[in-house]
């Protein structure tokens, strides 16, 4: 019998292949290392500090990894290299998620992929269809009015909305819109009157956009009204894992707005039930990440967005006692019967040094931050089995960069 070759990645049963080399890639690699003791392989354009010099994660870098066809060809070659075991493919950013969804037919026979299928993905990515689905299922979400290309020219557009100003306006099609270029373009618009709605709508359609726009009620508040949830639904379309977190600190750097740097994990049975009702009703399969706003006027948590993968900050689920990535493997590799879990432990997850959170978190959440920190706090990149001088230096530089961003952009905020 021929001697077995060294298992550089994974174990005798499976190999984790991660698309991306940032914080989310390390999140997945650490979660799988903690669950199975395996070393993961990450693919991307280059190793970022978050994944450099790691003992639990190896990075293969390709300059052409921004080209979908090259990504697919590379994955096919890798499958031939490692194909004697089950390969689990985990995209960590939207670009790679879209590449995998678009080329699912070419990859499904080679990899186990914790993603929803393309047809359902399209229904959920399109915001018109998404909010219609939420409404049909009675899942709480912000009140919404849809503007179509046919109604965009109405001289009374923005008048008599069923909710007050200011309002949020955003594109329904998030594939075409990011590729457009025009003066004053924003990802999401906060508008204060009907004239603003009409003018913004006119500029968007004049730039070549040809799908619906979403006008939505604006839920006011600081981080204390912002929540996140990460889930996993098994191959049979049943949600088996959910973990909810209260955002404690968001990014100040305008280039990174929308990212979270501190989350307090907690139990929210009502929100978990709403998410289960949605996912189980549509037969969702795979990982999902939700952006949620808690409406203080009604005491209801309302779903804003659904991302078709685990969130970049989803290591907070580990702080809460739940290993999201383990569910991928137990379901897709081992076919195990999964025990439904909703995390309940209150802990503090960090992506920045704790003193930064203590100083910059809004007063409304500082009490929750301190209480959770006393029970335990977790920093994704600080992992005892993955320590070395080079890695410690990388993490220190990441923490310093984040700290300096808060110092710099806090001054910008105060001067507005």
Q: What is the mean pLDDT of residues 383-403?
A: 95
* Residues spanned by the domain of 169: 143-217
Which helix (H) or strand (E) is 355 found in, with range? helix 354-360
Q: Pick from 217, 247, 264: which residue ends a domain?
A: 217
> Which of 52-61, 126-135, 251-260, 353-362 bottoms out in mean pLDDT, i.e. has the lowest?
251-260
Residues 213, 216, 221: CA angle, nearest 5 degrees: 140
Q: What is the CATH number of the domain that holds 186?
A: 3.30.1490
Tell whether 286 and 204 lie within a shared domain. no
Give residue 258's pLDDT: 75
Structure tokens belonging to residue 132: 């219609």
Residues 233 and 354 in one domain: yes
**Which one, of 383, 318, 366, 380, lies nearest residue 345 by Cα?**
318
Domain boundary among 217, 250, 276: 217
Give a yes or no: residue 302 inside a domain. yes
User: pLDDT (tens digit, 9 = 90+) per residue, 394-412?
Assistant: 999 999 999 999 999 887 6
Report whether 116 contacts 44 (CB < 8 A). Answer: no
Domain for residue 120, yes or no? no
Report whether pLDDT(350) > 70. yes
Residue 4 lies in a domain: no
Is residue 255 domain-resident?
A: yes
Which of 217, 248, 267 is at the close of a domain?
217
Is 183 contained in some domain? yes
Task: Identify whether residues 105 and 228 lie together within a single domain.
Answer: no
CATH number assigned to the domain comprising residue 334: 3.30.470.20
Q: Are 293 and 339 in a shared domain?
A: yes
Same domain, residue pair 181 and 306: no
Task: Say which residue the tokens 């991302």 belong to.
Answer: 307
Domain shared by 260 and 392, yes or no: yes
Whether residue 177 lies inside any domain: the answer is: yes
Do 169 and 253 fall within a single domain? no
Q: CB-based burial of residue 274 (10 Å sphere; 0-12 exposed, 13-18 middle, 19+ buried)? A: buried
Largest separation between any pair of C-alpha atoms in the chain = 80
Q: What is the mean pLDDT of residues 373-397?
A: 95
The whole-chain average pLDDT of the chain stands at 92
Instruction: Give the residue-averaged pLDDT of 189-195.
Output: 94
35: in domain: yes
Residues 70 and 196 in one domain: no
* Domain-embedded: residue 330: yes
| Pair (97, 52) in one structural domain | yes
CA distance 16 to 25: 11
CA angle (116 as vertex; 114, 120 as ends), nearest 5: 180
Neighbours of 381 (CB within 10 A): 22
Same domain assignment for residues 320 and 229: yes
Based on the domain organization, do 229 and 374 belong to the same domain?
A: yes
Which CATH number does the domain housing residue 68 bear? 3.40.50.720
| DSSP sequence for 304-349 | EEEESS--TTTTHHHHTT--HHHHHHHHHTS-PPPPPEE-----EE
Overall number of domains in the chain = 3
The angle that helices 324-332 and 23-36 make with each other, rounded to 10 degrees, is: 60
High-pLDDT (> 70) share of the chain, %: 97
Q: For residue range 21-50, what is the model confidence (pLDDT) as tens digits?
A: 999 999 999 999 999 999 999 999 988 999
- The answer on 244 and 210 residing in a single domain is no
Predicted structure pTM score: 0.90
Cα-to-chain-centroid distance, residue 370? 25
- What is the share, in percent, of the chain residues with pLDDT greater than 90? 83
pLDDT tops 70 at residue 212: yes
The mean pLDDT value for 374-391 works out to: 95
Report the alpha-carbon distance of residue 107 to residue 109 in Å, rounded: 6
């Amino acid at each position: 019998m021929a001697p077995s070759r060294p298992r550089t990645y994974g174990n005798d049963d499976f190999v984790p292949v991660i698309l991306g080399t940032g914080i989310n890639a390390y999140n997945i690699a650490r979660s799988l290392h903690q669950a199975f003791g395996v070393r993961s392989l990450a693919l991307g354009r280059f190793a970022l500090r978050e994944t450099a010099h790691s003992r639990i994660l190896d990075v293969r870098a390709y300059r052409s990894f921004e080209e979908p066809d090259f990504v697919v060809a590379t994955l096919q070659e890798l499958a031939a290299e490692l194909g004697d075991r089950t390969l689990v493919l985990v995209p960590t950013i939207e670009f790679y998620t879209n590449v995998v969804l678009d080329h699912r037919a070419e990859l499904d026979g080679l990899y186990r992929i914790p993603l929803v299928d393309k047809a359902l993905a399209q229904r959920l990515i399109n915001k018109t269809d998404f909010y219609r689905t939420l409404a049909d299922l009675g899942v709480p979400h912000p009140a919404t009015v849809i503007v179509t290309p046919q109604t965009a020219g109405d001289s009374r557009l923005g008048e008599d909305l069923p909710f007050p100003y200011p309002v949020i306006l955003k594109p329904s099609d998030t594939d075409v819109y990011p590729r457009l270029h025009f003066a004053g373009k924003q990802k999401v618009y906060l508008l204060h009157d009907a004239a603003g709605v009409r003018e913004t709508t006119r500029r968007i359609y004049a730039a070549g956009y040809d799908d619906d726009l979403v006008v939505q009620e604006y839920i006011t508040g600081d981080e204390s009204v912002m929540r996140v949830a990460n889930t996993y639904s098994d191959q049979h379309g049943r949600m088996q894992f959910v973990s909810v977190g209260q955002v404690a600190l968001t990014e100040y750097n305008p280039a990174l707005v929308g990212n979270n740097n501190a989350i307090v994990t907690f139990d929210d049975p009502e929100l978990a039930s709403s998410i289960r009702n949605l996912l189980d009703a549509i037969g969702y399969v795979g990982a999902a990440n939700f952006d949620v706003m808690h409406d203080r006027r009604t005491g209801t948590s309302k779903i804003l967005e659904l991302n078709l993968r685990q969130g970049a900050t989803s290591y907070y689920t580990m702080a809460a006692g739940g290993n999201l990535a383990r569910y991928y493997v137990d379901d897709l590799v081992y076919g195990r019967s999964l025990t439904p879990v909703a995390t309940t432990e209150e802990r503090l997850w960090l992506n920045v040094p704790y003193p930064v959170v203590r100083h910059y978190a809004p007063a409304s959440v500082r009490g929750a931050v301190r209480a959770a920190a006393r029970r335990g706090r977790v920093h994704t990149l600080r992992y005892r089995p993955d320590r070395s001088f080079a890695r410690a230096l990388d993490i220190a530089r990441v923490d310093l960069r984040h700290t300096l961003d808060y110092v710099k952009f806090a001054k910008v905020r105060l001067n507005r």
